[in-house]
Amino acid sequence: MFKEISIIGLGFMGASIAGAVKTIHPEIKISGYDIIQKKIDYCLSSGIIDYAMDFNMDAHKNPCYGNSLDDLTSLVILCTTPKAILTLFDRYKTFFENAPFITDIGSVKSVITHNAEIKNFKNFVGSHPICGSDKSGPENADFNLFKNKNCVVIKEDSDLADKTRTDKVEAVAKFWKMLKMNVVYLAADFHDNIVAYTSHLPHLIAFVLSDTVLSFIQRGKESGNGTFSLIGSGFRDSTRIASSSPDIWTDIFLMNNENIAASLEDFIASANILKGFLETGDEEGLKNIITKIADSRKKI
């Protein structure tokens, strides 16, 4: 069990993790850092972190290290955008070289994991809790967010032959299990290929769908038509995630661009099949493919 946790990035996810930990184990000491001071102030005043952390503090006194650099009871969790994680790796290299355990929550794993390997951060184990919200900020934190959700912990084939490495992977997995998450072990490259389809493509489509419909509505406003009043729940449900952070999703799209581009090609191919049925008025073909898709969706 980790006795001390440092959370870097006190937005919705970072604050949710801090609050979830405090709810289950209030005795665990949590330090937090964010470039926005009011987020730190909010988390301190609400009691979900115990103190602010300082990258420049002497290593042996830094809360994230525990009592000494040999005290392997402390975990650093990176809850920033993927690009910011890479910046932190560069800026505070000594800090991450010495931290006993490090993980992150990024939706892209290959770039971050490989960057940690290049910098010889042997104590880094990538994670990806499969949960979130279109809301942002610590004031919207959800302390029950992680319960019964899946969490990917990165485990490469090379880790299997290294007991020290395996122990670190299991320690990080144990943390997420403490938050009542179901842990799944995947290699970083395989993870990125999967989430390109299951997460990144749906977000990309939501952004495009929102733009398409809202552009149409704007044209309607300009021509005096009341199109806005005709927006139904289907549009709202399908595009809710288009309200997500532009900073985070720009990073994700660019850092997993090849996998996402491939998934988009598959989507376009499927859309073109439906378009063909519409253009030819093929009722049977259209109904058959919609039925097949609907039946498959019900099995999820």
Name the amino acid, one letter, at 296. Answer: S
Residue 173 has what pLDDT? 98
**Nearest partner of 112 among 60, 66, 72, 154, judged by Cα:** 154
Distance CA 197, CA 193 (A): 7
Q: Is the pLDDT of residue 226 over 70?
A: no
Domain ranges in the chain with CATH number 1.10.3660.10: 191-298
Q: Do residues 30 and 49 lie in contact, with contact meaning Cβ atoms separated by under 8 Å?
A: yes
Q: Which amino acid is at 240?
A: R
Residue 184: half-sphere exposure toward Cβ, Cα within 13 Å: 14
* Residue 68: band (very low, low, confident or very high) from pLDDT cuts 50, 70, 90: very low
Is 80 exceeded by the pLDDT of residue 65? no
Domain made up of 191-298: CATH architecture: Orthogonal Bundle (1.10)
How many angstroms separate the Cα of 142 from the Cα of each of 17, 120, 264?
8, 34, 32
In angstroms, rounded to a whole number, what is the distance separating the alpha carbons of residues 71 and 1? 12
8 A C-beta contact, residue 31 and residue 6? yes
The CATH class given to the 4-186 domain equals: alpha beta
What's the rounded mean pLDDT across residues 82-108? Answer: 93
Q: Read off the DSSP letter of residue 124.
A: B
Local structure of residue 32 (DSSP, 8 states): E
Q: Is the pLDDT of residue 195 over 80?
A: yes
Nearest to 113 by CA among 63, 200, 172, 179: 172
State yes or no: pLDDT of 111 exceeds 80.
yes
Mean pLDDT taken over the chain: 90
> Which range, of 69-73, 196-200, 268-272, averages the lowest pLDDT?
69-73
In the predicted model, is pLDDT for residue 92 greater than 60?
yes
**Residue range 37-47, pLDDT digits in tens:** 999 999 999 99
Residues 6+ apart with CB under 8 A from 135: 12
| Residue ranges, CATH 3.40.50.720, the chain | 4-186
3-class secondary structure, 224? coil
Q: In the predicted model, is pLDDT for residue 196 greater than 80? A: yes
Examine the pLDDT at 222 and tell me if it is beyond 70. Answer: no
Find the length of the chain.
300
Report the share of the chain in percent with pLDDT over 90.
Answer: 72
Which residue would you say has higher pLDDT here, 55 or 3? 3
- pLDDT recorded at residue 126: 98
Exposed, middle or buried, 142 (CB in 10 Å: 0-12/13-18/19+)? middle
Torsions phi, psi of 80, nearest 5? -105, -175
pLDDT band with cut points at 50, 70 and 90 for residue 224? low
Residue 213's nearest CA partner among 224, 221, 201 is 221
Residue 63 has pLDDT above 70, yes or no: no
